[in-house]
Structure 1
Amino acid sequence: MTDTSQQIYRLVYVSTASERLGGAEIDNILNVSQSNNDERYVTGFLAHNGRSFMQALEGKREEVEYIYNRILGDDRHFGVTQIIGEPVVRRAFPDWSMNYHRVDGGSGSSTMVIRSDDTVDALLNPDMPRDLLYLFSKFIRLR
């Protein structure tokens, strides 16, 4: 019998931001998410390509699913679709309670902004699974 209580679960979803969602509200979401994720030992990554979001959450399955269920009920975005939900051996984002790439510019202490001269692959964790790196790289490049 396998002990799943310490197993890490990764969930990745995509969604579309509502028209009224602005930069200040995104910054607020990030700050609250970082605090909540720290308390639950959930790590992750949020990418925004101008209109859509892709987010990865990693941690104990019950914690990740709790957060995802809250996300499903959030009216600041719609069309939430889970694309990955799987147990994993190790975290792809071990040091990030919630890091963020915003393609459409902006600045702030909790954001990492992709500039035109940066390569996406250089900004993402090179030790992450190749399929996850590919998925986020392709998403971030969509406009």
Structure 2
Amino acid sequence: MYTLTYESTAVNIMTSSEMESLLEEARTHNKSKDITGCLIYYKGKFVQLLEGDKKEVQELYDRIKKDPRHKEVTLFSEDKIIKRTFPNWGMAYYPMDEEHTNQYELEQFKRNLILLSDLVEPTNLTAKQFWKKLKTMIAESPT
């Protein structure tokens, strides 16, 4: 098995409905290819971990790099793995509509992500890099 993680920047800020559409498409595709992972979208930036058969994950990553909804797609870690970090996650996402979310909800969302990252025990360097990137991303001041 194989895993990779990348980051990118949205060309335009995505609405909740656009994210839900993207995720529906991703979940359908990924389920058919036995790919699992986690996608975080926060303040116009993506960080994603994908895991599964190496050929399938690399083909998906090639498609992702060509997706016009984002730019500056940068692979920052990849590994051979024995077990999945997200074995039961088709693709995780929490809908956060910044226009309709108060500061308390936003801070709670950030705390929950940090708590999740502290509870998960990464079994490979790529998963460790994913969680490190996530913490860095949500710690950055708002743009």
TM over 0.5: yes
Unaligned runs of 5+ in 2: none
CA contact (8 A) 2:14 2:44 kept: no
Please say if residues 5 and 48 of structure 2, whose CA atoms lie closer than 8 Å, have aligned partners that are also in contact.
yes
Q: Which residue of 2 aligns with 1:110?
A: none
Unaligned residue ranges in structure 1 (runs of 5+)? 1-7, 108-113
CA RMSD of aligned residues (A): 2.4
Query: Which of 32, 54, 61 in structure 2 is aligned with 1:68?
Result: 61
Q: Distance in 2 between matches of 1:121 and 1:104?
A: 19
Instruction: Give the % identical residues.
Output: 28
Runs of 4+ that moved beyond 6 A: none
Residue 134 of structure 2: which of 108, 120, 136 is its match? 136
Cα–Cα, structure 1 residues 102 and 15, in superposed 2: closer, same or farther, change >3 Å?
A: farther
* Structure 1 partner of 2:107: 116
Deviation at 1:69, TM superposition (A): 0.6
Q: What is the alpha-carbon distance in structure 2 between the residues aligned to residue 104 and residue 20 of structure 1? A: 11
Q: TM-score, normalized by length of structure 1?
A: 0.78
Question: What is the 5 A alignment of 1:1-143?
Answer: 8-19=1-12, 21-101=14-94, 105=98, 115-117=106-108, 118-124=111-117, 126-129=120-123, 131-132=128-129, 133-142=131-140, 143=142
Mapped to 1, the partners of 2:57 and 2:43 lie a distance apart of 25
Q: What is the TM-score with the length of structure 2 in the denominator?
A: 0.78
Aligned residues: 130
Q: Residue 10 of structure 1 contacts residue 85 of structure 1 at CA under 8 Å; is this kept in 2?
A: yes
Specify the SS of the correspondent of 2:72.
Answer: strand
Q: Post-superposition shift, 1:139?
A: 2.4
Cα distance in 1 between the residues matched to 2:112 and 2:85: 19
